A and B are shown apart, each in its own frame.
Chain A
Amino acid sequence: MAMVLNEEAGMLKDAARGYLKASAPVSQLRKLRDSGSEDGFDRKTWADMAEMGWTGVLVPEAHGGVEMGHVAAGVIAEEMGRTLTASPYISTAIMGATALSRFGSDGQKSEWLPRIAAGEAITALAADEGRKHNPSRVAVSAERSGNGFKLNGRKTFVAEGHVADMLIVSARTAGSENEAEGITLFLVPRDAAGVTVERKDTVDSRHAADIVLDNVDVTADAVLGEVDNGLGALEAVLDAGRAGLSAEMSGSAQQCLDSTVGYLKERKQFGQIIGTFQALQHRAAHLYSEVELGKSIVLKALQTLDAAPDHAAMMVSAAKAKLGQVAQLAAREGVQMHGGMGMTDEFDIGFYMKRVRVAEALYGDANYHADKFARMRKY
């Protein structure tokens, strides 16, 4: 497959950039932070995204979406990474839509997918339980009770968990805490009895939540995919999210590079534009190269998700590992080359440094994915 965007995706990219620059730039995130917004995102912007079809980008047409695939979904995420637009897009439009359209029953699909596409429902994946990402480490229990299950335990660092209407929860129906077998995915409405959401402010001026499940009763219909055999589906949903986050980080890295190069062309010291200094030119040129490599591996991962979703894990891990490093390099170099200004809250570059730190950690950091890649390569 040619590694260029087709016309449709190219148009989507232009449209997304135009909208986000005008209506949801970094100043919006700054305002949300300063006003202490509990949502951590702008509801009007989210409604606009639904209007433009973004929330339905992975939802089949039969369920009200536009089903454009992961490359298109990534194009939008990348542009959001440029403007640091906060929204439940990755948790809902990418991961929620992937979970339901690939693994949902007919009933689950028709209940949730049209609402996701319309921007009326927000979903969040509640998978991790410890400080470091580890999807097969599941202690949250789901015991059979009547014709359903009873869920108990705590999930940590659930992105968009504080605003989700529905949680996708991994729980143990068999086996012991670190076993790959015995994990089952459940769809749990946030307003179910026994669900407590503990909102946390995160370093990127957004929010996440810990989710406490205390004797939460769900029916057998709440099971997503197969009982005891949910890890494969969980990984597929995670991979969609990881690729989306990689695309987001790619956009953030490019924006850091652009802003920094712009600053190098303006700032004067020693009577000269500092961009004439070779020491800085070489740092910027190296960063450019890394950002270009990042762009390529992200596109490769997204194309693989569209063409062969069951064989995309390796390329997705490569992308997440690479972008975790590239985006953080871009942010670090950006702050350094902005000098003292880079340390101020007034300049945007610091917002990028904070967001990519979160995006890098979410669903496996660069080390996690490098290790996973090596395991898949059998070393």
Chain B
Amino acid sequence: MADLDAFRADVRDWLEANCPEEMRQPIQDEEDVVWGGRTFNFTEPQKLWLDRMAGKGWTVPEWPVEYGGGGLDKAHAKVLREEMRKIGARAPVQSFGIWMLGPALLKYGTHEQKLEHLPKIARGEIRWAQGYSEPNAGSDLAALMTKCEDKGDHYLVNGQKIWTSYADKADWIFVLVRTDFQAPKHEGISFILVDMDQPGVTTKPIKLISGKSPFCETFFDDARAEKHNLVGELNKGWTVAKYLLTHEREMIGGMGSGAMRPMGDVAVQQVGLNEHGMLADPILRADVVRAEIDGLAFMSTMERVADEAKAGQGTGANSSMLKYYGTELNKRRMELMMDSAGSSGLEWDADEDVARMWLRSKGNSIEGGTSEVQLNIIAKRILELPSA
């Protein structure tokens, strides 16, 4: 404990001296989010903050030092997060590299693969995209058909991915490909890393109901992948894929919690109070308070599941429960935001952009495995109900 207290004091001093004032302000819009990568336009404070944090290894505090991390254990990393939260420090960089590829490489990658890719993720130099879904492989992801052929000194990739988040802004992509067309569907899949800076890889943004295009179609047309960039064994990619999906679910599920303003405060601001000091719309008030209580119970559950994992208890399949509940909760919250906003929420391109957030949230319970798929996983892996 004394060690943790000393560490906390050091962290506090360091953050105070090194976190630029601009990086302590709440995130206002998408421009404030640092994704990193070859083409990212950093503001000066963003770059400064990223470099300083990366220098300490604190963009990925729990990764090993040799791969660009901070080498902290869970307890010390928690202290760092707490101290950052105290001063409102923004994440120096966020990316699919940190949330998804990094954990998968740490578990399944070779030492050389880790050395090549992880430090660049930690320093925000390379931005990764995820090549999972295909037009005919959505919830049934293992039905994917993107073809990967062994060409002796390299692989050749042909096919199409869809729902690749921000692929048009990404530098590299981790892709699930079929390397054996004869084997049962789960056993012919491999996990490979592809540099997108080549003519064989093209992207096309998809316009969503929100009017925005966070997702792309990504086409592979005789794209080249190096042999040393196959992660895990050939035809064993499904294991890596599932592990990575667990992290993706946790990330998406986490949207149902924290960071946002409490729903009640938003509703009060929009709708106002009546003469009894109660929200002026009584039915909305009831919906809002239920959502707040469920939010509190959900956050407590995230905390409990993490603490149980730390103590070696609990079940990994709980990431499905968190993903399911967190995204459904977030959709409820966005409906309540629209209810509260009234006509101002119906304006396209209004300042607060509630409408686009509301529309975007509908994807939460689809991406990363639909709510129905999560319920299937809970039924099968946790409740151990039989398959038909």
Contacts and interface: CB of A to CB of B under 8 A. Distances in A.
Interface in A285-308: 285-286, 288-289, 292-297, 299-300
Given A289-B324, A374-B278, A282 B385 contact: no
Interface stretch (A71-79, A86-94, A204-212, A269-277): A269-277
Contacts of A373: 289, 292-293
Contacts of A285: 324, 374-376, 378-379, 382-383
A329 interface: no
Nearest to B284: A379
A282 B375 contact: yes
A295 B300 CA distance: 9
Interface in B276-302: 277-279, 285-286, 288-290, 292-294, 296-298, 300-301
A377 interface: yes
Given A4-B308, A371-B289, A286 B297 contact: no
A378 B277 contact: yes
B297 A293 contact: yes
B17 interface: no
A318 B387 CA distance: 37
B297 A318 contact: yes
A106 to B, nearest CB: 36
Most chain A CB within 10 A, of B262, B279, B300, B303, is at: B300
Contact of A379 (B285, B318, B388): B285
B289 A293 contact: no
Nearest to A286: B375
A295 B304 contact: yes
B290 A288 contact: no
B245 interface: no
B106 to A, nearest CB: 24
A379 B264 contact: yes
A9 to B, nearest CB: 13
B293 A321 contact: yes
Given A281-B379, A370-B290, A378-B277, A292 B296 contact: no
A296 B285 contact: no
Contacts of B310: 2
A144 interface: no
A373 B290 CA distance: 10
Interface string B260-286: 001010011000010001110000011
Given A371-B289, A379-B278, A281 B298 contact: no
Interface string B350-388: 000000000000000000000010111011101111111
B35 interface: no
B285 A374 contact: yes
Nearest to B312: A4
B298 A293 contact: yes
Nearest to A326: B297
A374 B325 contact: no
Contacts of A322: 293-294, 297
A275 B307 contact: no
A3 B310 CA distance: 10
A264 B385 contact: yes
B321 A3 contact: no
A318 B288 CA distance: 13
Contacts of B324: 285, 289
A4 B307 contact: yes
Contacts of A2: 307, 310-311
B182 interface: no
B28 interface: no
Nearest to B314: A4
B301 A296 contact: yes
A102 interface: no
A261 interface: yes
B388 A276 contact: yes
B313 interface: yes
A277 B387 CA distance: 8
Contact of B303 (A277, A296, A370, A375): A296
Nearest to B262: A377
A379 B385 contact: no
Contacts of B290: 321, 370
A132 interface: no
A375 B286 CA distance: 11
A308 to B, nearest CB: 16
A370 B286 contact: yes
A318 B32 CA distance: 34
A378 B297 CA distance: 20
A74 to B, nearest CB: 14
A379 B380 CA distance: 42
B268 A379 contact: yes
A278 interface: yes
B383 to A, nearest CB: 5
A276 B386 contact: yes
Interface of B: 262, 264, 267-268, 273, 277-279, 285-286, 288-290, 292-294, 296-298, 300-301, 303-304, 307-308, 310-311, 313, 318, 321, 324-325, 372, 374-376, 378-380, 382-388
Given A4-B304, A378-B277, 19 more contacts: A3-B308, A4-B313, A261-B385, A265-B384, A273-B386, A276-B386, A278-B388, A281-B375, A282-B372, A282-B375, A285-B378, A285-B383, A289-B324, A293-B297, A297-B297, A373-B293, A374-B264, A377-B264, A377-B292
22 contacts: A3-B303, A3-B304, A3-B308, A264-B385, A273-B386, A281-B379, A282-B372, A282-B376, A284-B385, A285-B376, A285-B379, A288-B383, A293-B301, A294-B297, A296-B297, A296-B304, A297-B297, A299-B304, A371-B289, A373-B289, A377-B292, A379-B273
